[in-house]
Amino acid sequence: MNFHTHLFPCFIAFAFAVSFSEAAITLGSSLRASDPNQAWNSSNGDFSLSFTPLGSSSFKAGIVFTGGVPTIWSAGGGATVDASSALHFQSDGNLRLVSGSGAVVWESHTTGLGVSSAVLEDTGNLVLLNSSSQPVWSSFDHPTDTIVPSQNFTLGMVLRSGQYSFKLLDVGNITLTWNGDEGDVIYWNHGLNTSIGGTLNSPSLRLHSIGMLAVFDTRIPAGSFVAYSNDYAENAETTFRFLKLTSDGNLEIHSVVRGSGSETTGWEAVSDRCQIFGFCGELSICSYNDRSPICNCPSANFEPFDSNDWKKGCKRKLDLGNCSNGINMLPLENTKLLQYPWNFTGIQQYSMQISGCQSNCRQSAACDSSTAPSDGSGFCYYIPSGFIRGYQSPALPSTSFLKVCGDVDLNQLESSDVSRPGDKVKVWVLAVVVLVTLFAMIAFEAGLWWWCCRHTSNFGGMSSQYTLLEYASGAPVQFSYKELHRVTNGFKDKLGAGGFGAVYKGVLTNRTVVAVKQLEGIEQGEKQFRMEVATISSTHHLNLVRLVGFCSEGRRRLLVYELMKNGSLDGLIFKGEEGQSGKFLSWEDQTNHKRFSLWAYEEFEKGNLIEIVDKRLVDQEIDMDQVSRVVQVSFWCIQEQPSQRPTMGKVVQMIDGVIDIERPPAPKVTSMVSTSGTTSTYISSNLSNFSTTPTTETPASFSSSHAALDMTPGGSKIEKTSSSLLQSRYD
C-alpha cells in the first residue's frame, strides 16, 4: 500500500516532466524552411511554430492552429523568406529569423536578458523564459495581425497588415487606420458603449472564446461590448475563434472548427468594404458585383498598374501634363471621389449646378476632379491632384467628374481573358441554354406571383417588399395598408395615443412584435413624408427604438416601430400606486421638472449655457456652438402645439448646422389651482404636459421668484402630446 502511495506522485511528476520537455524549446534549437516536418509544438498539440509554404519557393515562419489554419502570429509580420531560411533560438537567448543569404529578417532583441528556454503555451503564446521561469518576451505582447482568446491587447500594441493598422486608444476607442507616406487616415472608429468619458486607466481589448469582443478597464470592470460573432457561444469546445486584421483592411472575427481546416467569418467591422480607404488603390473605382466588391479603372482612358494587384490602382493612358489632344471631363454617375492626403483645406467648395461643376473644374489647373452631390444642396467640390479613389453605388446621390486627356471613352476595360476559337461554339450553346432556363424561371415566378396575388387572403403572406425584411440592412420596409390592417388584427390592440395619432400592437408573420402608429392631422406631401422616413431610419442609437417600416397610401400615413418590451416611458415617469401607470407625478415632482425648463431658458437668455451642461463634463473640452444648437432645438421640441415643433428631419439638420435655428420662444407658462385654492405656475411642454390632479398644498420647493409670472385662474388639463411626427418614441 505504501509502495503504491509513494509511486503515484512519482509517476505524476515524471509525466509532467516528460510533458514539459516535449513543449520546452532549448537554446540552440533551430527550425528550417527546407524541412516541413520540423515544428515546435504546444503540449496540447493545438498550436505549432513552423515554416508555412506560401508557394513553390517562398515561406513564412509563424504559429499556426492545428491543421495549418490560421496563422495567429508570424515572425517579422509575415515576412516572406526562401527555402534556405531558418529560425534560430540562439545560445545568447535571442530568437532570430535569417534568410538563405544570412541576412537578419527579424529578431526578438532578447540578447543578454537572461533567456534560458522557451515554451509554446497551450493558448498559442510563444514565451521566452529566464532561469526562474519568468517571461522575458512573448508573442502575445508583440502581436502581428491576429488576437486570440486569453490574449490581452493593450495600449501601445498594434496589429498591422500591409498599409493598414489597428489600435486601442487611451479613451477606450478602437480604430482602423490606413497608413500613407504623407499621413494616416482613420476610416473606422468604435467608441465605448458606456457613459464613462475621459482617459481610462489601463484599457485592454479581449476576445472571449465564445465569440464576444469587449474592452475592459478598472473603470469598467464589466466591460464595454464591441461585437458578437454570428456563431456566438455555439460549439465552444470544438470551435477556435480569433480576431484578425485582414489584408484588405477589415477587422473580422473568424471561426475554425477543429479538424475542418476552413475558416468562417462571424463579424466584420466594416460591412461595406468599399468604405475601407485605399481598398482599390489610386484612381480606381470600388463597386459591387452581386455581393462582392470589385475594383475597376474609371474607363478605357485608364489602365491598371497591375491587374493582379488592384491595391496599386490605375493610371491615365495619356498624362495630363503632356496632353496635346485637349483635356475633357469623364462623367461618373452615382460616384463620389475621395482624396489623400486627408487634406480638406485643399478641397474647395462652391455653389453651382452640375454642369458648372464639370466645366469650371476642366478650366481650372488646380482641379483634378470634382464631385456634385445630387442632394439639393447645390454644392460642388473641387478636388486637387493626389491620391484619388472612387466609390460607386446606385444609392449614392452624386455625380463626379475626372480629368482625362483626349476624347472620353466611357467603355470599361475588356477582360484580359481570351477565348480560343474552338470555344466559340461551346459558348454559344451555353448562352442559349442559360437564356432558355432563365425564361422558364421568370415564367414560373410570374405565375406564382399571380397566384399569390389572387389568393392573398388564404395565402397569408406579405408583399414581395416585406419578404426581404429579414435580409434588409436597416432600410425601412414599405407596407401596404391592407398588410398593416392584418398585422394589427384590424387595429384592435391599442397601446396608447399621442398628439399625432394612436398606436396599436401588431405581430409580423416572422413573429416580430411591432408598434403601428396611425398618423392623424398630417399635411405633408408624399415626397416630404418619405424624406422624413429616410431621415429617421438612418438614425441609430442605443436609446432609440428602430423604425421598421412605413405605409403611405393616399392620405393614410402609418409608421411601424419595434415594440418596447419594457413598456412605454410614461409607465415610468407617470408614477402611481404599486408601480402602475396612468397616475401622475406628485406636485413636487411636477414642479421640479417644470422649473428646470424655465430655469434653462433663463440661463440661455443670459448666455450662461455652461450652467446647463452636466457638471461632470465641465473639465472636458466642450463645443459650445454645438451645445447652443442642441439647447435651442430642445426648446423648439417642447412647444405645446405639435405644429410648432420641428420634424425629425429638421431637428437633424439644425443640430448638424445645415440650416439656421430661429430663436426659440420661451416655454409657455400656465397655472394650476389646488383644491385649497392655491395657484401654482408651471411650464407646459412635451416633456411636462401632464394632466393635473388636485393637491392639498403648494409644494414648498416651488421658487417664489416665479411669482411675478402671469397666471390664469382655474385649473387646466392638457393632453399629452408627442414631440415629433417621426420621433422614435411612439407612445
List residues forming the annotated binding site for ATP.
517
Distances from the Cα of 422 to the Cαs of 425, 428, 429, in angstroms? Answer: 7, 11, 13
**Can you tell me whether residue 588 is helix, strand or coil?**
helix
Peptide bond into 397 cis (omega under 30): no
Grid cell 440650416 in the structure block, residue = 659
Instruction: Kindly give the pairing relationship between strand 348-351 and strand 327-333.
Output: unpaired
d(CA 374, CA 116): 67
User: Are 311 and 286 a contacting pair, CB within 8 Å?
Assistant: no
User: Are 361 and 348 a contacting pair, CB within 8 Å?
Assistant: no
Helix ranges, 547-586 (H)? 570-573
Contacts of 599 (CB under 8 A, 6+ apart): none
d(CA 555, CA 552): 7
d(CA 437, CA 142): 56
d(CA 613, CA 627): 8
> Which letter does DSSP use for residue 211 in this model?
S
Cell of 159: 496589429
Grid cell 485643399 in the structure block, residue = 346
**Can you tell me whether residue 54 is helix, strand or coil?**
coil
d(CA 372, CA 356): 10
User: Are 226 and 215 a contacting pair, CB within 8 Å?
Assistant: yes
Grid cell 467608441 in the structure block, residue = 191
Q: What are phi and psi of 220, to 5 degrees?
A: -130, 70
d(CA 312, CA 317): 15
Torsion on CA atoms 142, 143, 148, 153, rounded to nearest 10? 70
> Could you tell me which of 43, 44, 40, 45 has the C-alpha nearest to residue 61?
40
d(CA 329, CA 408): 7
Residue ranges for the known binding site are 517
d(CA 117, CA 27): 6
Distances from the Cα of 726 to the Cαs of 491, 509, 524, 632, in angstroms? Answer: 20, 24, 12, 19
Count of C-beta atoms within a 10 Å radius of residue 332: 21
State the distance between the two ends of the chain, measured CA to CA, in whole angstroms. 78
> Could you tell me which of 435, 58, 73 has the C-alpha nearest to residue 244?
73
